[in-house]
Chain A
Amino acid sequence: MEKSVKNKKKSLAKKIEPFLYLIPAFIFFLAFTYYPFVKTIFSSFFTVNAMGKIRGFAGLENYISVLRNPAFIQSIKNTLVYVTMSSPLAIFIALILAMIANKKTKLSSVYEMLYAITMAVSLSVAAMIFQLMYNPAIGILNHILNTRFNWLNDKKIAMLAVSLIAVWMNIGYNFLFLLSSVRGISSDVLESADLDGANIFQRTWKIIIPLISPTVFYLICNSLAKNMMMSGLILILTQGGPQGSTETMISFMYKQSVNNLNYNDAYAAAIIAFLITSVAMGVSFSFEKKGVYYN
């Protein structure tokens, strides 16, 4: 009798044991990912006062009002422009670098490090360095290019200037992935291509790209997710200006909530940003079926 009670206790303890190991992680997941996500979606259908307290049901009103706000529409356009300018270019440059670094040489550890190290540079340090480089009077860029651009204060090129910083920062990360992927291609495949008389461009386009397409696809998704949510560079460098030309979805959300305490706009903008990012991911997944070759 006593023994079976003991066994029961033991088996109960055994049953709950794995959950005990999961508790710490799930406390944080629930409190700082799932709860705020659900609450953000929920609150976006209500009117919320400046203290963040719910005042009444609003239906889709918040969404309608923020989508009627030309500043937010502008920020959606800006974000899409920014993503189109920065994501592909950073992957393309990284791919060239990976092709260059593909073969191991005596100095390869040196230049591999140089190509990769931009990923260790933080957003704010990159912003400070480029702010000086972009300075129209004493910055180096106008001097070297022999131009007179007011990089961050000209609404025609400010977004381009910000995108270039993002490209620079993402080269290192993309490079590391592409390098390991390019090096993973068996030399037999490349040698047989050599025998077929394929030149370097044919070889890259017809043989290497298909073989590394899973990595490229991962990098596209990764940079889409990252760049769609970009706000740090904007908040440090331009505050969305000049004339709203660099406002992104998340910098809009940030300013609406932190500066203006307008949570109605902020929640709706956050959810719209999330949906647009999801759609972009969905589109790239549909391309995956056509263009990505897993072996």
Chain B
Amino acid sequence: MRNSTYFVKGWKPVLFQIFAVVLGLFIISPIIYALFISVMPADQILSNPPKIIPRTVILDNYKKAIESTRLGRYMWNSLVIAGISSVVRIITASMAAFAFSFFEFKGKGFLFTLTMGTVMIPGDVVLVTNYQTVAKLGLVNTYLGMMIIFMVSALNIFVMRQNFLSFSKEIKEASEVDGCSNLRFFATILLPLNRPVLTTVFISAFIGTWNTYLWPMLVTNDDAMRTVQVGVTMLNFPDGTVYGPIMAASILVLLPVMVMFIIFRRQIVGGLMGGAIKG
């Protein structure tokens, strides 16, 4: 009822929508600003008063950002770390969620509390000690060292458990009658039928790890091992015209996540809400 009223013909709803979009453009204006600067020649960037709209559009800044820095290498590092740790997270989370939703065992409640209790301990508080652990294991400047603290997440376990709990018990019982082991049920029935939640967890884990800054900075000092997020704050260019290439690099770092966010918005939002509100 309420929804249909805005499809009534007339200029008011149209005006409202235009207003809403313009407001949206204002909200993302820092991104638009970065985009404009990234295609501006240096003299326009440095002009006084500053220019907002580029007079001429050039791609030199992008060329410079890619060719005279290790941005490509940083991107690869981030891709490896975000990709692998997100897959590992799905494995650890789905296995734990399977135990919490399909088994009855001693200490289940306690272990689940222990799982959710990790949410109360901020990663930053244990940062220094984790660094010492990783250093002791000889993992400084390695992919494994950068990923190792992102390989499990209580919220992921929680979201998956919610989904698994609503999974039909009849299918599970039928599979038991057929002599299907728990492991086989898990791998060949439960996981494939829960692909949506696996996608959600993967996408949000990927974006989260891709965007993370502090930990990868702490455990790397070798330039070749840096992630994009750390690398983009340390770009050095031979001449003084730094801002154009830096904005170009920023746009390049932003782009994959933006695209993922736009394509998978539904899944990401579903995952967020599932982890926070439900239950």
Contact = CB atoms under 8 A, between A and B. Distances in A.
Given A33-B126, A34-B118, A121-B31, A22 B21 contact: no
A279 interface: no
A138 B21 contact: no
B101 to A, nearest CB: 10
Interface stretch (A69-77, A129-137, A147-155): A129-137
Given A18-B99, A140-B52, 11 more contacts: A18-B103, A24-B152, A25-B152, A32-B148, A36-B130, A122-B229, A124-B230, A173-B272, A177-B277, A270-B125, A270-B126
Contact of B233 (A21, A40, A143, A236): A236
B35 to A, nearest CB: 10
Contacts of B49: 143
20 contacts: A22-B95, A24-B91, A24-B92, A111-B17, A111-B20, A114-B24, A114-B27, A116-B261, A116-B265, A117-B258, A124-B233, A125-B232, A128-B233, A129-B34, A130-B30, A137-B48, A222-B276, A250-B127, A270-B128, A274-B125
Contacts of A115: 24, 27
Interface of A: 15, 17-19, 21-22, 24-26, 28-29, 31-37, 39-40, 43, 52, 97, 100-101, 103-108, 110-111, 113-130, 132-133, 137-140, 143, 168, 171, 173, 176-177, 180, 187, 190-191, 214-215, 218, 222, 225, 229, 231-232, 235-236, 250, 253-254, 257-258, 263, 266-267, 270-271, 273-274, 277
A122 B253 contact: yes
Contact of A120 (B105, B207, B247): B207
B174 interface: no
Contact of B2 (A29, A122, A190): A190
Nearest to B124: A229
Given A120-B207, A140-B50, A257 B243 contact: no
B257 interface: yes
Contact of B21 (A103, A111, A137): A111
Contacts of A129: 30-31, 33-34, 247, 250
Given A37-B125, A116-B265, A29 B258 contact: no
Nearest to B114: A29
B196 interface: no
Contact of B182 (A17, A117, A270): A17
Contact of B133 (A31, A117, A250, A273): A31
Contacts of A168: 30
- Top 10 nearest A-B pairs (CB, nearest first) are A114-B24, A122-B211, A36-B129, A36-B126, A18-B103, A21-B99, A28-B152, A25-B96, A120-B261, A111-B24
Given A18-B105, A37-B121, A120-B257, A114 B233 contact: no
B115 to A, nearest CB: 7
Contacts of B124: 229, 231, 250, 253, 270, 273
B265 A113 contact: yes
B181 to A, nearest CB: 9
Nearest to B235: A128
Contact of B132 (A52, A114, A222): A52
Contacts of A29: 114-115, 118, 152, 154
B10 interface: no
Chain B: interface size category: 35 or more
Nearest to B93: A25
Nearest to A237: B233
Contact of A235 (B47, B125, B214): B214
Contacts of A43: 129
Given A32-B148, A176-B269, A180-B269, A40 B126 contact: yes
B3 interface: yes
A250 B214 CA distance: 11
A132 B247 contact: yes
